[in-house]
Structure 1
């Protein structure tokens, strides 16, 4: 059946489902695939990132799964690039070794696909804190809207002469089959995936919100790059409407530096290109801190956190309460209250 949307609405083409040539002149070149998901009641959720740095000869992988009030985590940031297979046997990427396997198999490009992960995860919160448990996950996803992109952008450090550099975000619905320590369950979930390629210096701050439910999907980002004004972008798409660019993003939120599991709360206000304003209260459910110390030229800690949240919407969407994800990366010297 044909999709109800044009996958190329924002300039992304079917070939962008797969991997891209990289510039050997950029040690920080990174290509990555990211997936997140959550159940409607926010009791089951997770996110997975697979990225590779050809100039550093390594693969970065993480998997975080939230289930039964426990967080389970696999972080592997120094896997050998030589062990990663790209664009082989129908898979965009495939890794297998030392008790860890992960792959992504596109179906119809930019429309559906399957993420598979299996390995051993450490419990980092909850009743079984500290245990290492076997985990297997299958995420069979279907796009609910076109991939959204604002193009390669104008930031010089994110471009490479003669090479395609870009990223896209795409809302999805999926069936997630997970087996944790021998106990299997299957959930219907929603979330988002993204795919990015190009030079990617991590020395910047950002805040990021994604919401996806039966009524609408949205993604909003504020990026702060040294010597640049804040970059604000994203999209909003009603269930039966066109995907719209955001023209303004305002996160009026408090950050809790001392509690990664309750890292953020406050209000959001998003303006669309048709002058619609989307507003909501943001309430934390749970969350974790993620290790990106190794991505900086001089390794250091930042507050890089991903929070499962509930948003209570107002105005046109009064009464809608939806789970979502709020991600932020902040320098540790920042105040715990920040107005974006």
Structure 2
């Protein structure tokens, strides 16, 4: 993301905590964690998105099980304020800013032998069994922080924030996660790597045309996040970072090519990224994928639908094998995702 002259990304340890609730009806503050344990062949991601002015929080637990099935739960849990990330049986705790955080969940999950059924949530929830689930994960940062809130040189808010409509502030960090996940009568010990993020500001999922977000970890010393995003006005943003020996090298240029299946879900991908120090050729193979959606009705009755496909993905780069997510967001136009030919 290119900022105007003099502007910079402001980030303080206090930003790990909750931000003042804005007056916008669609003000969102969200936090997200993912993890994958290659030895146990299990991974997942967890998100709370507080939308306090709408009276609810979006709570999502998504666990990719070793047999290819997915344990999934989504709730719009009632909340009265933006005081904490605690909703729907899930809780995120900041143990030490930038260094240590915890994720807890206690509730139910839907066991999906065929995760693609989630494209029709009502049908999926009726036709698949629910199991008790608990999650206890401890995360530690293995990298610097990436991102923040764009501000002018004097610290005042940037009026022309290029991400307006999706967030005001946003940061990410590569992490290591340990703990346990229990699904039904099976307990899985977790020791893996992942990425987390934190966003705040007004958000509608329909304010972005499409994006491709590729967070991946190869080791505690080598990890990548590559992002290609097209905003609602057509502006294209390319960003991300490469973790090398404890430092982040910013991605200056990047491209992503995708092979799709018959439903326009990503199957494999090839990405190229360039920093000031090196170029990277990346190949990805989706191991398990679940399609999700967000719908919104405008005042004139127009219905909008956003599709987000979440693929647990095996990556290869520089002769190394790593794991992470491939998250593809598209607006559905005339029945098709609008970014498939980009």
Q: Same fold, TM exceeding 0.5?
A: yes
Whole-Å separation in 1 of the counterparts to 2:82 and 2:149: 27
Whole-Å separation in 2 of the counterparts to 1:328 and 1:46: 16
Query: Deviation at 1:56?
Result: 1.4
Q: Secondary structure at the match of 1:55?
A: helix
CA 296–148 in structure 1, closer or farther in 2 if over 3 Å, else same: farther
Map 1:278-293 → 2, pairs under 5 A: 278-293=280-295
Query: Deviation at 1:60?
Result: 0.7
Whole-Å separation in 2 of the counterparts to 1:247 and 1:68: 36
Q: Out of 172, 176, 183, which is 1:173 matched to?
A: 176
Aligned to 1:230: 236
Deviations 1:214-264 (A, max 9, x none): 1411111111112232111111111x142111111200112335165xx33
Q: Secondary structure at the match of 1:301?
A: strand
Whole-Å separation in 2 of the counterparts to 1:85 and 1:31: 8
Aligned to 2:322: 322
Query: Deviation at 1:27?
Result: 1.6
Query: Deviation at 1:331?
Result: 2.5
Whole-Å separation in 1 of the counterparts to 2:297 and 2:215: 24
CA 191–30 in structure 1, closer or farther in 2 if over 3 Å, else same: same
Could you tell me whether the CA contact under 8 Å between 1:10 and 1:148 is conserved in 2?
Answer: no
Whole-Å separation in 2 of the counterparts to 1:157 and 1:301: 20
Aligned to 1:212: 217
CA 136–189 in structure 1, closer or farther in 2 if over 3 Å, else same: same
Query: Deviation at 1:94?
Result: 2.3
Whole-Å separation in 2 of the counterparts to 1:305 and 1:223: 15
1:33 correspondence with 2:31:
yes
Whole-Å separation in 2 of the counterparts to 1:139 and 1:283: 26
Whole-Å separation in 2 of the counterparts to 1:233 and 1:182: 42
Aligned to 2:70: 71
CA 299–186 in structure 1, closer or farther in 2 if over 3 Å, else same: farther
Q: Bigger relative contact order, structure 1 or 2, given CA contacts below 8 A and separation 6+?
A: 2
1:19 correspondence with 2:3:
no
Could you tell me whether the CA contact under 8 Å between 1:170 and 1:194 is conserved in 2?
Answer: yes
Aligned to 1:133: 131
CA 339–147 in structure 1, closer or farther in 2 if over 3 Å, else same: farther
Deviations 1:19-51 (A, max 9, x none): 001221x22211000111111257201111101
CA RMSD of aligned residues (A): 2.7
Deviations 1:142-165 (A, max 9, x none): 0001220064374467279xxx93
Could you tell me whether the CA contact under 8 Å between 1:32 and 1:195 is conserved in 2?
Answer: yes
1:142 correspondence with 2:140:
yes
- TM-score (ref. length: structure 2): 0.82
Whole-Å separation in 1 of the counterparts to 2:145 and 2:103: 18
Map 1:1-340 → 2, pairs under 5 A: 11-24=10-23, 26-41=24-39, 43-69=41-67, 70-77=69-76, 79-82=77-80, 86=83, 92-95=84-87, 100-125=88-113, 130-149=128-147, 151-152=149-150, 154-155=160-161, 158=164, 165-203=168-206, 204=208, 205-214=210-219, 215-238=221-244, 240-256=245-261, 258=263, 260=265, 263-274=266-277, 276-294=278-296, 298-313=302-317, 317=318, 319-333=319-333, 334=336, 338=340, 340=342
Could you tell me whether the CA contact under 8 Å between 1:176 and 1:189 is conserved in 2?
Answer: no
Aligned to 1:5: none
Aligned to 2:124: none
- TM-score (ref. length: structure 1): 0.82
Whole-Å separation in 1 of the counterparts to 2:214 and 2:16: 23
Stretches of structure 1 lacking an aligned partner (at least 5 in a row): 1-8, 87-91
Once structures 1 and 2 are overlaid, which stretch shifts more, 138-147 or 199-208?
199-208
Query: Deviation at 1:125?
Result: 1.9
